[in-house]
Amino acid sequence: MKLSASALIFDLDDTLLDTTKYILPEAHKVVCNFLIEAGKIDSFKSFAQLHTEYRTTGTLQNLLEFLAHRLSLSDSQIERSENLFFTFFDSSTVKLKAHAKEVLSDLHGRFDLHLLTSGNFETQEKKVAALGIAELFATVNICKRGANSKAQHFSRIASIYSAPSRVVSIGNRMSTDIVPAKLNGLKGIWVRYGEHAHEVESQFNEKPDVVVEDLKEIPQLLTRAAYFDNLESS
């Protein structure tokens, strides 16, 4: 028997967790030091210039994919840089975005909340534990990186509910949080913030149902019963 309910699936990094402001600068330093040692760049200034280039190209690659191509990294160098980046953890850098805790507390109990994050399992698990938010979610799901991996979880979570169109994915990245959710019959709220805020809707066949700049906008949208009715009739 399937439950008839309204559910929200939250991404973690740059959706709830302020990854861009606190974690990325430190993780980038670790990768930068490796690239300097490998003779691929000569300074952090060079790394910063490459990062600026990445942010302005509109590429759908993540930063490490961009660097691998731009610097012609070997397979072993790609593997090492990815390992350094995705396993980086410093509890002092793990901080929620403004309004995140209030938003989750407001929505908790009125909707089924699910957390779906991708990356290194142990690192993501540590982030969730450090934030102390696991108790607010019906399920906490950690999957491998990539849209296909998240798509499987979107499909599985949506199957719990009689109306998948009443399940809403909320995330900061079009390519992994919105597009695969929409392809599985869910709705999508794009939180345009952080490392992937440069993604352009026109690059994708699937579009978000709502775009917000701040998490505090979300409860107001979802407290209106007509909001879901409008989504289902669109």
Q: Quote the number of domains for the chain.
A: 2
In this predicted structure, the answer to whether residue 100 has a pLDDT above a threshold of 50 is yes
In this prediction, what percent of the chain has a pLDDT beyond 90? 70
Q: Write out the residue range of the structural domain in which residue 53 sits.
A: 20-92
Residue 68 and residue 142 share a domain: no
Is 9 exposed, middle or buried, given 0-12, 13-18 or 19+ CB atoms closer than 10 A?
A: buried
Residue 2 lies in a domain: no
In sequence order, the 6+-apart residues with CB closer than 8 A to the CB of 224 are none
Report the range of poorest mean pLDDT among 15-24, 31-40, 137-146. 137-146
Residue 221 and residue 112 share a domain: yes
pLDDT confidence of 150, banded at 50, 70, 90?
very high
Beta-carbon count within 10 A of 184 CB: 20
In this predicted structure, the answer to whether residue 230 has a pLDDT above a threshold of 50 is no
Whether the CB-CB separation of 202 and 220 falls below 8 Å is answered with no
Rounded to 5 degrees, what are φ and ψ at 12? Answer: -105, -70
Residue 50 lies in a domain: yes
pLDDT confidence of 163, banded at 50, 70, 90?
confident
Residue 214 and residue 107 share a domain: yes
Q: What is the DSSP letter of 173?
A: -
Residue 99 and residue 190 share a domain: yes
Average pLDDT over the chain, rounded to an integer:
88
Residue 1 lies in a domain: no
